[in-house]
Amino acid sequence: MPVDFKTENHVAYITLNRPEAMNSLDPEAVTTLTEIWAEVKSNPDIRVSVFTGAGEKSFCTGTDMKKTPPPDECMASIWLRDGQPIIPPMKMWKPIICAINGYAIGGGLEMALACDMRIASSKAKFGLTEVKVASLAGLNGTQCLPRAIPQAVAMKMLLTGEMIDAEEALRVGLISDVVEPDELQGLAKKYAEKIASNAPLSVKAAKQAVVMGMDMPLDHGIAFSHLLWGVLRDTEDRKEGFKAFAEKRVPEYQGR
C-alpha cells in the first residue's frame, strides 16, 4: 500500500510508504490518503493523528509527475466539484502532528502546513519549488506559508523556489522541534499520546478556537472562545476532570 494506516490508544498513525519514490503522491496514494482522512474525521475513537513518511530521506516531495497523467476532465470541473482541491488540507478539529523525516517539498510541504504541529528530523529540508517548473503552490502554500512564518521569508521561498534546512525552519517558526532522525517518531508518539490523554472535546475546541479565530478580529475571536468555553462547561468530561483533580488520580475522559 502507498500509505500505511494504524490506530493505537486513540492515536492514528498515517505513513506515506513510497520511499523508493521519495514518498511522492501517485494517484493510488492520493485516493488512499483521502479515504484515510475521512476515516480519521469520522472515527470517534481517534483523537489525534501522526502523519509522517517512510524512511529517513523524504516526508513527501509532492506529486509523482512520472506516474500522474493529466486529468481527463478540465481543471475547472475538478475545482468546482467541492470547492477545494482533492488532496488535503482538510479542516477537521482533531489535531494532526506532522513528523517531517526528510524532504518536504511542494505538495509535501503544503500537507505539512495543513497540520497543527510540525516537528522535524535534523535532516529535513523544506521548499515550495513550483516556480521552477512553471507551476504554483496551489493547494495552500501561497496562503498558509505566509501565515506560518514571516512574510518576507515566505516570499523568498515562494519566488526563488529555494529550500531551507531544519535549523532555519525552526528559527523562523515553521516547525516547533528539531531532533535527530532516530528520535523523531518517538517524539511524535510522545506528543500524540499526551494530546490523546487530554479531554477530547477540549482539544477539539482549542483547535477550533485558534483556526476560526485567526480569521476574526481579536474581540470576535475572544467572544468565540468564550462561547466554546461555555459549551464545554457542562460536559461530563469537565466534571470528571475536576473530580480526578480533587481525588489526585488520572482522569478517564470519554469525549462527552
Active-site residues, by number, are: 110, 130
Backbone angles phi, psi at 129, to 5 degrees: -100, 15
Integer Cα distance of 23 and 58 in angstroms: 6
Tell me if 48 sits within 8 A of 14, measured CB to CB: no
Integer Cα distance of 2 and 148 in angstroms: 29
Integer Cα distance of 114 and 26 in angstroms: 19
Tell me if 10 sits within 8 A of 204, measured CB to CB: no
* Burial bucket for residue 56 (CB in 10 Å: 0-12, 13-18, 19+): middle
Please tell me whether residue 88 adopts helix, strand or coil conformation: coil
Instruction: Report the alpha-carbon angle 202-207-212, nearest 5.
Output: 125
Q: How far is CA 176 from CA 15, 97, 120, 173, 185, in A?
A: 20, 11, 8, 7, 15
| Cβ neighbours of residue 143 closer than 8 Å, sequence gap 6 or more | none
Helix (H) or strand (E) run with residue 224 in it:
helix 218-233
Query: Which DSSP letter does residue 229 get?
Result: H
